Amino acid sequence: MSQELTGAQIMCEALIREGVEVMFGIPGGAIMPFYFAMWEYRDRLRHVLCRHEQGAGHAAEGYARSTGRIGVCIGTSGPGVTNLVTPVADAMMDSTPLLAICGQVGSHVLGKDAFQETDITGITMPITKHNYLVKNASELAYVFKEAIYIATTGRPGPVLIDITKDAMQKSCVPNWDRKLDLPGYKPTYQPNRKQLREALKLLRQARKPLIIAGNGVIMAGAHAELRHFAERLRLPVITTLHGIGAFPEEHPLSLGMPGMHGWVHCNRAIQECDVLFNIGGRFDDRVTGKASTFAPNAKVIHVDIDPSEIGKNVKVDVPIVADARMALQALLDELPVKEELADLHAHASDWMEYIRELQDKHQGKQQYINRAAVQNMALPPHDVYAALNRHIAERGNIIVVTDVGQHQMWAAQLLDWNAGPRSHITSGGAATMGFSVPAALGVAIAHPDKTVWVVCGDGGFQMTNQEMATIIQEGIKNIKVAVINNGYLGMVRQWQELFENKRYSGTPLSGPNFAKLAEAYYWKGMTVEHTNQVQAAIEEAQATNGPVLIDFRVEREVNVFPMVPQNASIGDMITENSGA
């Protein structure tokens, strides 16, 4: 193609070349040339007009996390792009491939405090994998290609491109053929064989081996390999918050979630194991508790695609820098025949039996859902999850998006996660309240054939619920929102109850009538106040051909247990009986 195009046209062409189909954004002065050009590409490049740039960013994240493809969001210079800062930071923390396209003032006034100018590349330097300031139309073809390559390869992450208005308006003949030249960026995908053998040696000699699986397994599409590997060695598997979906919970080797609100048996298994094989998790402090007391008896094998994660929080004995799937594949190739694993199998089976005994002794999922403490409440939050479980099991084809707080931890703990990778979408590393409704918008667009259930707190819901209008305008029908309405910023209130003598400073929270609010947005709205209405409401929501919100007015002061207090060892959990 030797035709002259405007910079903005080049941007559209570049996105189409990279397989982008949807973008989420809001226009404004500096980005207008892009919107002008977008119009002629609208059949191939769908633009979803959001109500707030934060919503656009989270929607792009939802799209990316549920597909593994790049999510694209757009904002105009100044407040438009500063509104994108939160989702960009969120994407950084959770390694989400996100492209933020930002309009910037004209290059001739750059740095002169022009109208709506902000230094967004300066602001986002520490929260992007990489960012660019583009002042010439001739650079755009290359920069877009490079940016999407960087965002989606290695450890994925957000990349931001700030483009001056004149660079979008000027014309040139784009050069699509320029080869990527990134001498400082060569992600390591293939594992080092020597380290692999070292890891296998450790595992074979283990008496109490344990796998922790994290987000890396899901991003690498390594769930099948993980399953083979665990089954061949018969190792118990723990899945972190972002590892949910990497290993089916109904599998006999699955233990569940570790960490601050993980199960006692998971944390105890970590504390007692002698070899810990972490695949694609980053030993976040919500997993490790006080890091110096974490897994004190374990030799640690850590597989991560990002070398800077290795040894960052936990001392590692065998580092393996690799893509999770390639590492597991290579490990499977190196496995000895079954007979040679007899010793390991014997030890692993004793160990598993021991962990299951621990599990029976401590409150696990079933006991937690059905416990007496909540039996006399009109609507314990747990009953909503129990009903959702029944619904998901019957219906299938559901993706759950959660927000941040107690309801999020209950979802991770209490729902039965058997639907495979990318069936659980949440904000983990940044824990961004307000993530869920806009993220669900992106998920629903990417998966029109599935139903997206949002589980959200009354606090987080009030941060971004304006995207209900976007959902209607886009004609999206497959979103159902369950607000777990406890009238508090519940997670903070829980800490105040447990550690600050119930000083509920800044946590009691009122809201509008959520069902009526939903109706005002042309959604269907329902209110549920009693346990015996829960199942019917969920089924009605599912049967409704359009977006539905259910306001579950749950018991107000219920806590998430078990719990590791901040900076404590994960071996010291507060359980329901020892706690409040």
CA–CA dist 251, 235 (Å, integer): 12
- Least distance (Å) between residue 162 CB and other proteins: 11
Restricting to residues 146-165, name those near other proteins by CB under 8 A. 150
* Nearest to Mg ion of 142, 488 (CB atom): 488
Told to judge if 53 belongs to the known catalytic residues of this protein, a careful annotator would answer: yes
- DSSP H or E segment with residue 121: helix 120-124
Q: Which runs of E-coded beta strand occur in 138-267?
A: 158-164, 171-172, 209-213, 237-239, 254-256
* Choice among 491, 526, 563, 573 that is catalytic: 491
Binding to Mg ion, residues 448-487 (CB under 5 A): 457-459, 486
Provide the H-helix boundaries in 220-323: 223-233, 264-272, 285-288
Question: Taking the complex as a whole, how short is the minimal distance between the CB of residue 144 and other proteins, in angstroms?
Answer: 15
Nearest to 193 by CA among 77, 318, 37: 318
Nearer to other proteins, 181 or 394 (CB): 181
CA 490 to chain centroid, in Å, comes to 21
In 3D space, the residue among 33, 30, 98, 89 whose CA is nearest the CA of residue 59 turns out to be 98
- Distance in angstroms (rounded) separating the CA atoms of residues 257 and 284: 13
| CA–CA dist 301, 305 (Å, integer) | 13
Binding map of other proteins across residues 189-208, x = CB under 8 A, - = no contact: ---x--x-------------
Interacting partner of 308 out of Mg ion, other proteins, ligand TPP, none (Cβ under 5 to 8 A depending on kind):
other proteins
User: Does position 370 bind other proteins by CB under 8 A?
Assistant: no
Look-up of token digits 């890891």: 199
Query: What's the rounded Cα separation, in Å, for the pair 147 and 188?
Result: 18
| Interface with ligand TPP: number of residues (CB under 6 A) | 20
* Closest approach of Mg ion to the CB of residue 459, in Å: 5
Q: Is 47 in the site for other proteins (CB under 8 A)?
A: no
115 is catalytic: yes
The contact mask relative to ligand TPP for 115-144 (x = CB under 6 A, - = no) is ------------------------------
**Residues near 56 by Cβ (< 8 Å), separated by ≥ 6?**
24, 25, 26, 48, 50, 73, 74, 75, 84, 87, 438
Site residues (CB under 6 A) for ligand TPP, limited to 460-489: 460, 484, 486, 488-489
CB of 514 to ligand TPP, least distance (A): 12
Give the span between the Cα atoms of 469 and 51, in whole angstroms.
8
| Least distance between ligand TPP and beta carbon 363 (Å) | 20
Those residues with Cβ within 8 angstroms of residue 555's Cβ, 6 or more apart along the chain or in another chain: 374, 377, 378, 379, 380, 381, 486
The verdict on 185 binding other proteins (CB under 8 A) reads yes
Which burial class, exposed, middle or buried, applies to 228 when counting CB atoms under 10 A from its CB (0-12, 13-18, 19+)?
A: middle
DSSP labels, 551-573:
EEE--SS----SBPPTTSBTTS-
Instruction: State the catalytic residue, choosing from 116, 205, 466, 533.
Output: 116
Q: Which of 181, 333, 339, 449 binds other proteins (CB under 8 A)?
A: 181
Q: Which of residues 275-314 bind other proteins (CB under 8 A)?
A: 306-308, 310-312
Enzyme catalytic residues: 53, 115-116, 165, 491
> Which positions touch ligand TPP (CB under 6 A)?
403-407, 431-434, 457-460, 484, 486, 488-492
> Which positions touch other proteins (CB under 8 A)?
121-122, 125-126, 129-130, 133, 150, 181-188, 192, 195, 306-308, 310-312, 316, 319, 321
